[in-house]
C-alpha cells in the first residue's frame, strides 16, 4: 500500500519538471528570468512569498518542535511570519519601487560608496548555505520513502530543483511555488491537522495525556523565543532570497498587502504545525528524533494516499526554499560579486543590464543575458548539491552565515531605508565592525564552549554584532560628511518610483562625489 504514497510523490516531482518548461515559455529577458518580469499580482505573489519562507525548518521542524515543547513550538514559524509582516508593511513598497535585482544594488544606490559592495559576498555565502541546507533537508523524506542512501537522495532531489530553476528561472520557480503553496495548504491544514487531532482525541485527549506545560506558550523558553525573533525575523528583513520575491511584485500595493497576507498565513502555519506535533506526542509517544515526527505521522497515522500528499507537502516546502535560495545566489554572484572581485585586479566591472542598478528593465532584453543567468544557476546549483552531500554540518555553516547577515549587514541596510543622515562610510564601517565582532564572539565562545549551544549556535554573537554595528554606523555617519546631494537626489527619485529613463537622468548612476569613486 506504501506504493500509492510513493506514486503520489513521484507525480509531484514530475510536475515540478513540467513547471520548468512552462516557465521557459514566459521567459524572454533577464527581468523575466530573475524577477518574473516584475508582473506578479496578489494571488501569485502571496503564494510564492509564503512558499519561499516556509521550508523544511518550518514544516518538518515546526511539527517536531510541537512534539517536544507543545504549543510553544510554534514560535520559530511565528517569528518567520512576523518577519514577512514587518518587511511587507514597512519596507516592501519602497523596495519594489527601486526596480533593482539585489540588496547590494540598494546599498550602492543609497550610499554611492564602494565600501558597501562587500555585502554581496556575505549575501552569496548566506544564500548558498540556505540552498545547501534545504537540499539536504528534503533528502530525509526520500530516505524514509524510498530507502535510498543520503547522497543519492540529495542528488536526485537537487537535480530536479536544478532543472526547473535553470530552464525557466523565476517564472518556473513562481509557478512551482504556487503549486507547492497549494499542496502545503491542503497537506497541513486540510489533511494532517484534522486527522492528527482526531486520532489524539482532540485537545481534551492531548490534555489528558500531557502535562500542563505542554499548553504554555512560553514552554520552549523565553531565551529560545527571543533568539527566533532576533535571527529569523531580522534575517528575513534583509535576505536576498526574500527581497528577490519583493522585486517580482507588480505594484507597491501588491508588495505590501500580498506580503502581509503571506505573513499571516505563515503565523497560522506555525500554530498548525505545533498542534500537529502535540497530537503526535500522544499518538506516537516513542519517536526518538523529532525530525522524524512529520514523516512518521504521514506513514503510520494517515490513510494511504493522504499520507502521500502530506509527504509531497514536506518535499514541496523544502524545494521552494531551495529553488528560491538558488536563484538568489546566482543573481548575487553574477550581479554583485563577480564585478566586485574583478575590480580587485584592475579590470572593468563588466556591468551588463542585470548588474547595473541604475538602468531600467528595458535594457535587459537580449537573449544572451538569459543564457548567462542560466549558466550561473546551473553552476551554483551543482555547487550546492555537492555542498549538501560533502559537508555534514551545513547547519553550522548556515548559522554562521545568518549571524553575519544580521550582525553585519542589518544596520546598514535598514539604516539606509529609514535614516537620511546615514552615509556610505558609516555603512561600510558598520558592516566591517559588526561582522568582525560577530565572528570574534563566535570564535571565542566556540573555543570556550562547554556544550554545542555555547559555540557557533550561541545567541551572543548576533547581539554583540548588532550593537557594535549600530554604534559604528551612528558615530561614523555623524562624524563624517553626509551623503552627497546628487547621490541622495538620485536615491529619492528611485524611492519615488522615478527611473532614470523616466526623468532623463543619466542612467550610469549617481555622479562622482567625495563618497563615490567611479571605477
Is 273 in the same domain as 364? yes
Same structural domain, 62 and 89: yes
Do the Cβ atoms of 125 and 398 come closer than 8 Å?
no
When divided into structural domains, the chain yields a total of 2
Q: Is residue 113 part of a domain?
A: yes
Model pLDDT, residue 138: 73
Residue that is written with C-alpha cell 513540467 in the block: 18
- Please determine, for residue 200, whether its predicted confidence score (pLDDT) is greater than 60: yes
Q: Are 318 and 183 in contact (CB under 8 A)?
A: no
Considering the domain boundaries, does residue 265 fall inside one?
yes
Give the pLDDT of residue 505: 40
Does residue 393 have a pLDDT over 80?
A: no
Residue that finishes a domain, picked among 341, 372, 392:
392
Say yes or no: 361 and 429 in one domain: no
Q: Are 357 and 454 in a shared domain?
A: no
Is residue 292 within 8 A of residue 117, CB to CB? The reply is: no
Residues 256 and 358 in one domain: yes
Q: What is the pLDDT of residues 400-449, one digit of tens each?
A: 888 889 999 999 999 999 999 999 999 999 999 999 999 999 888 888 87
Is 120 within a domain? yes
Extract the runs of DSSP E, i.e. beta strands, from 429-476.
none
Q: Which domain holds residue 268?
A: 2-392
- For residue 61, name the pLDDT band (cuts at 50, 70, 90): confident
The predicted pLDDT at position 468 comes to 97
Q: Is residue 498 part of a domain?
A: no
The band of 306, judged by pLDDT with boundaries at 50, 70 and 90, is confident
CA-nearest of 385, 79, 55, 400 to 241 is: 55
Q: Is the pLDDT of residue 509 over 60?
A: no
Report residue 451 as a C-alpha cell. 556544550
| Cα–Cα distance measured from residue 217 to residue 134, given in angstroms and rounded to the nearest whole number | 28
For the ranges 81-90, 108-117, 285-294, the one whose mean pLDDT is highest: 81-90
Longest dimension (CA), the chain: 71
Q: Compute the average pLDDT of residues 157-181.
A: 90
Across 35-46, average pLDDT? 94
Same domain, 406 and 378: no
Per residue in 134-143, pLDDT (tens digit) is 887 777 778 7
- The CATH number of whichever domain residue 284 belongs to comes to 1.20.1730.10
Rounded CA gap, 219 and 310, in Å?
Answer: 27
92, part of any domain? yes
What's the CA gap between 319 and 305, in Å, rounded?
21
311 CB-near residues (< 8 Å, 6+ apart): 5, 8, 9, 141, 145, 295, 298, 299
| 402 shares its domain with 295 | no
pLDDT at res. 504: 39
Q: Is residue 210 part of a domain?
A: yes
Provide the percentage of residues in the chain whose pLDDT is more than 70. Answer: 90
d(CA 329, CA 380): 7
Residues 382 and 305 in one domain: yes
Same domain, 360 and 405: no
% the chain with pLDDT above 90: 53
pLDDT of residue 452: 58
**pLDDT above 70 (res 212):** yes
* Residues 53, 200 within the same domain: yes
> Are residues 246 and 86 in contact, defined by beta-carbon separation less than 8 angstroms?
no
Q: What are the residues whose beta carbons fall under 8 Å from the beta carbon of 339, sequence distance 6 or more?
A: 349, 350, 351, 355
Q: Which pTM value belongs to this model?
A: 0.89
Is-contact 116 265, C-beta < 8 A?
no
Q: Are 101 and 427 in contact (CB under 8 A)?
A: no
Backbone phi, then psi, for 505, in 5-degree steps? -70, 155
Q: To the nearest whole number, what is the mean pLDDT of the chain?
A: 86
381 and 442 housed in the same domain: no
- Does residue 511 belong to any structural domain of this protein? no
| Closest to 53 in 3D by CA, of 302, 324, 261 | 324
The per-residue pLDDT for range 460-493, each reduced to its tens digit, is 899 999 999 999 999 999 999 999 999 999 999 9
Residue 512 lies in a domain: no
Q: Is the pLDDT of residue 42 over 90?
A: yes
Transcribe 338-365 into DSSP letters: HHHHHHHTT------TTT-TTS-GGG--
Q: Are residues 356 and 397 in the same domain?
A: no
Amino acid at each position: 500500500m506504501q506504493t500509492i504514497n510513493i506514486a503520489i510523490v513521484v507525480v509531484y516531482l514530475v510536475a515540478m519538471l513540467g513547471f520548468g518548461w512552462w516557465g521557459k515559455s514566459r521567459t524572454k529577458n533577464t527581468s523575466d528570468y530573475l524577477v518574473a518580469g516584475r508582473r506578479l499580482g496578489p494571488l501569485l505573489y502571496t503564494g510564492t512569498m509564503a512558499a519561499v519562507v516556509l521550508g523544511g525548518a518550518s514544516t518538518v521542524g515546526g511539527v517536531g518542535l510541537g512534539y517536544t515543547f507543545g504549543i510553544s513550538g510554534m514560535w520559530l514559524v511565528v517569528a518567520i511570519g512576523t518577519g514577512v509582516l514587518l518587511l511587507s508593511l514597512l519596507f516592501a513598497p519602497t523596495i519594489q519601487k527601486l526596480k533593482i535585482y539585489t540588496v547590494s544594488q540598494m546599498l550602492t544606490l543609497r550610499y554611492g560608496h564602494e565600501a558597501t559592495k562587500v555585502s554581496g559576498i556575505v549575501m552569496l555565502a548566506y544564500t548558498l548555505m540556505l540552498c545547501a541546507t534545504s537540499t539536504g533537508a528534503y533528502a530525509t523524506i526520500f530516505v524514509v520513502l524510498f530507502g535510498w542512501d543520503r547522497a543519492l537522495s540529495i542528488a536526485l532531489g537537487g537535480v530536479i530543483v536544478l532543472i526547473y530553476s535553470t530552464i525557466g528561472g523565476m517564472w518556473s520557480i513562481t509557478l512551482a511555488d504556487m503549486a507547492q503553496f497549494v499542496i502545503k495548504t491542503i497537506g497541513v491544514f486540510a489533511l494532517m491537522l484534522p486527522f492528527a487531532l482526531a486520532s489524539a482525541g482532540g485537545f481534551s485527549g492531548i490534555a489528558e495525556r500531557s502535562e500542563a506545560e505542554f499548553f504554555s506558550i512560553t514552554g520552549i523558553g523565553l531565551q529560545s523565543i527571543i533568539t527566533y525573533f532576533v535571527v529569523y525575523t531580522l534575517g528575513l528583513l534583509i535576505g536576498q532570497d526574500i527581497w528577490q520575491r519583493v522585486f517580482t511584485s507588480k505594484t507597491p500595493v501588491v508588495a505590501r498587502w500580498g506580503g502581509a497576507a503571506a505573513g499571516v498565513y505563515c503565523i497560522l502555519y506555525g500554530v498548525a504545525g505545533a498542534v500537529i506535533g502535540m497530537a503526535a506526542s500522544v499518538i506516537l509517544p516513542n519517536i526518538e528524533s523529532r525530525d522524524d515526527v512529520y514523516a512518521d505521522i504521514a506513514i503510520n497515522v494517515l490513510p494511504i494516499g493522504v499520507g502521500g500528499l502530506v509527504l509531497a507537502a514536506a518535499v514541496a516546502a523544502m524545494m521552494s526554499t531551495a529553488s528560491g535560495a538558488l536563484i538568489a545566489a546566482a543573481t548575487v554572484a553574477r550581479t554583485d560579486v563577480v564585478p566586485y572581485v574583478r575590480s580587485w585586479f584592475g579590470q572593468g566591472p563588466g556591468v551588463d543590464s542585470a548588474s547595473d542598478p541604475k538602468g531600467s528593465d528595458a535594457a535587459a532584453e537580449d537573449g544572451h543575458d538569459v543564457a548567462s543567468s542560466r549558466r550561473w544557476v546551473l553552476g551554483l546549483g551543482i555547487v550546492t548539491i555537492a555542498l549538501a552531500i560533502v559537508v555534514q554540518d551545513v547547519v553550522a555553516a548556515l548559522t554562521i552565515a545568518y549571524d553575519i547577515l544580521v550582525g553585519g549587514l542589518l544596520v546598514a541596510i535598514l539604516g539606509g531605508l529609514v535614516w537620511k543622515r546615514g552615509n556610505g562610510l558609516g555603512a561600510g564601517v558598520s558592516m566591517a565592525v559588526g561582522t568582525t565582532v560577530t565572528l570574534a564572539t563566535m570564535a571565542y565562545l566556540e573555543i570556550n564552549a562547554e556544550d554545542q549551544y555555547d559555540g557557533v549556535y550561541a545567541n551572543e554573537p548576533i547581539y554583540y554584532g548588532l550593537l557594535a554595528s549600530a554604534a559604528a554606523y551612528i558615530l561614523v555617519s555623524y562624524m563624517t560628511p553626509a551623503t552627497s546631494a546628487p547621490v541622495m537626489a538620485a536615491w529619492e527619485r528611485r524611492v519615488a518610483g522615478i527611473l532614470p529613463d523616466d526623468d532623463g537622468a543619466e542612467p550610469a548612476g549617481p555622479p562622482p562625489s567625495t563618497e563615490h569613486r567611479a571605477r
